[in-house]
Chain A
Amino acid sequence: MIIKVLLVDDEKDFVETLAQRLEVRDFDVKTAFDGDQALGLVREFDFDVIILDVLMPGKDGIQTLKEIKDLRPLAHVIMLTGNATVDTAIEGMKLGAYDYLMKPTETEILVEKIMSAHKIKAEHEERIRQAEIKGLLKRRGW
């Protein structure tokens, strides 16, 4: 299964290059350069994992995270942070972010985090599917 990833950061060259590196590794990647653009894509597509910069112009990472979680509660968000914003990233984890990474991050470490976030999301979705099947069978008296 191809993992659908959204990369959100205001450094365009960074986002575009990292996206290409993930695409080489067979991820399906879309990019956004601010919170509002990210939310537009989240409404349109069902991403498995969202990589979200904490500090961006306009809508910041925490506000964007809250709105992503409202729209797509099952999407896993990994916060990208610098030294000065680690506390914000931790606050993000309290608000439902899966994890955080310090910038600049090693691509291999990022890939590992994306894979483990996707695994947990897939398991969660499978449990929901099983529960729905059980509920359906029960309602029909089978």
Chain B
Amino acid sequence: MNKCTNKEVAFFGKITAGITHEMKNVLAIIRESSGLMGDIISISPEAIVKHQEKIQNSMVRIKDQIERGIGLTDRLNKFAHSTDETLSKIDLREAIEQLVTLAQRFARLKHVVLKTMTPDHEGPPVTLVTRHVQLQMALFASLECCFTVLSAGGEINVGIRKLEGKNVVNVVCKGDLPGQSEFVRNISESENWPALQEIAACLEGSAKLDETAHGIVLSFPDEIRR
């Protein structure tokens, strides 16, 4: 057990609360849509014809929300399984896709667009042996650092590349941003920055401010010592 382990529960709580909140919205929309169909049916048989468009729209909404719910449940299930093994072989690209999906609600609350630079299944897999939960914590902490400096309408792009044998994750901020030096100061003074440093160290990697762009560069080894 390392010193980051005791923060895993809080991280799990935060992500799970966000996703279950989304699930409640999904279920609320399904309930209201089916309720609306029930309302119309109970008015009169003629009302069904008169409000046919509303009934059809409700059915489309229910179908869409079921798809959204399946997607959220699938991500949450994979997230829960990340605790199965302390150390595991991970596809970094997939881990980023997963985390970016889980963090969408947090980005939306900040009016920030969050996306990956490399879509799913594009490029060769980047695999590493690491602590899966803490890897996700590091990725999320880097996003939280960006949330503190981005204003509404901003954007975060997350991409990966191999550099000198290291697995590098670039978290790049776009939008209405201050100059590079002020950006660096704002990020390094944010409360999430020391936490990010600590988690990256627990993974035998590093978290640095990007000297060429508004962003954060995370670096992780192929395999951490057991």
Report the separation of the CA atoms of residues A107 and B37 in the bound assembly, to the nearest whole angstrom.
13
Report whether A103 and B40 are in contact in the complex, using a CB–CB cutoff of 8 Å: no
Report chain A residues within 8 Å CB of B64.
Answer: 13
Report whether B109 and A55 are in contact in the complex, using a CB–CB cutoff of 8 Å: yes
Interface residue A21 (Cβ < 8 Å from any Cβ of B) = yes
Report whether A57 and B35 are in contact in the complex, using a CB–CB cutoff of 8 Å: no
Question: Considering the complex, which residues of chain B in the window 1-26 have a beta carbon less than 8 Å from any beta carbon of chain A?
Answer: 17, 21, 24-25
Interface residue A137 (Cβ < 8 Å from any Cβ of B) = no
Question: Considering the complex, which residues of chain A in the window 16-73 have a beta carbon less than 8 Å from any beta carbon of chain B?
Answer: 17-18, 20-21, 24-25, 55-58
Report whether A18 and B32 are in contact in the complex, using a CB–CB cutoff of 8 Å: yes
Report chain B residues within 8 Å CB of A56.
Answer: 109
Report whether B25 and A14 are in contact in the complex, using a CB–CB cutoff of 8 Å: yes
Interface residue B163 (Cβ < 8 Å from any Cβ of A) = no
Given that A21-B35, A21-B36, A104-B28 are known contacts, is A13 also in contact with B21, CB under 8 Å in the complex? Answer: no
Report whether B39 and A14 are in contact in the complex, using a CB–CB cutoff of 8 Å: no
Report chain A residues within 8 Å CB of B61.
Answer: 13, 17
CB distance from A103 to the nearest CB of B (A): 6
Chain A contact patch, size range: 10 to 19
- Chain B 62-76, CB within 8 Å of chain A: the 1/0 string? 001100000000000
Report whether A17 and B24 are in contact in the complex, using a CB–CB cutoff of 8 Å: no
Interface residue B111 (Cβ < 8 Å from any Cβ of A) = yes
Interface residue B108 (Cβ < 8 Å from any Cβ of A) = yes
Report chain A residues within 8 Å CB of B36.
Answer: 17, 20-21, 24
Report whether B17 and A11 are in contact in the complex, using a CB–CB cutoff of 8 Å: no
Report whether B21 and A104 are in contact in the complex, using a CB–CB cutoff of 8 Å: no
Number of interface residues, chain B, beta carbon within 8 A: 25
Interface residue A96 (Cβ < 8 Å from any Cβ of B) = no
Given that A57-B110, A103-B24 are known contacts, is A13 also in contact with B65, CB under 8 Å in the complex? Answer: yes
Report chain B residues within 8 Å CB of A14.
Answer: 25, 28-29, 32
Report whether A57 and B111 are in contact in the complex, using a CB–CB cutoff of 8 Å: yes
Report whether B108 and A57 are in contact in the complex, using a CB–CB cutoff of 8 Å: yes
Report whether A17 and B17 are in contact in the complex, using a CB–CB cutoff of 8 Å: no
Chain A: CB-nearest residue to B31:
A104
Report the separation of the CA atoms of residues A24 and B109 in the bound assembly, to the nearest whole angstrom.
31
CB distance from B60 to the nearest CB of A (A): 10
Report whether A24 and B17 are in contact in the complex, using a CB–CB cutoff of 8 Å: no
Report whether A24 and B28 are in contact in the complex, using a CB–CB cutoff of 8 Å: no
Interface residue A109 (Cβ < 8 Å from any Cβ of B) = no
Chain B: CB-nearest residue to A34:
B111
Report the separation of the CA atoms of residues A21 and B42 in the bound assembly, to the nearest whole angstrom.
12
Report chain B residues within 8 Å CB of A2.
Answer: none
Sample of 25 A–B contacts (CB below 8 Å):
A11-B29, A13-B29, A17-B29, A17-B33, A17-B35, A17-B36, A17-B58, A17-B61, A18-B32, A20-B36, A21-B32, A21-B39, A25-B39, A55-B109, A57-B108, A57-B152, A58-B111, A82-B24, A84-B17, A103-B24, A103-B25, A103-B28, A104-B27, A104-B31, A104-B32
The 8 A-B residue pairs with the shortest CB-CB distance in the complex, in nearest-first order: A104-B28, A17-B32, A24-B39, A13-B29, A11-B25, A14-B29, A57-B111, A21-B36
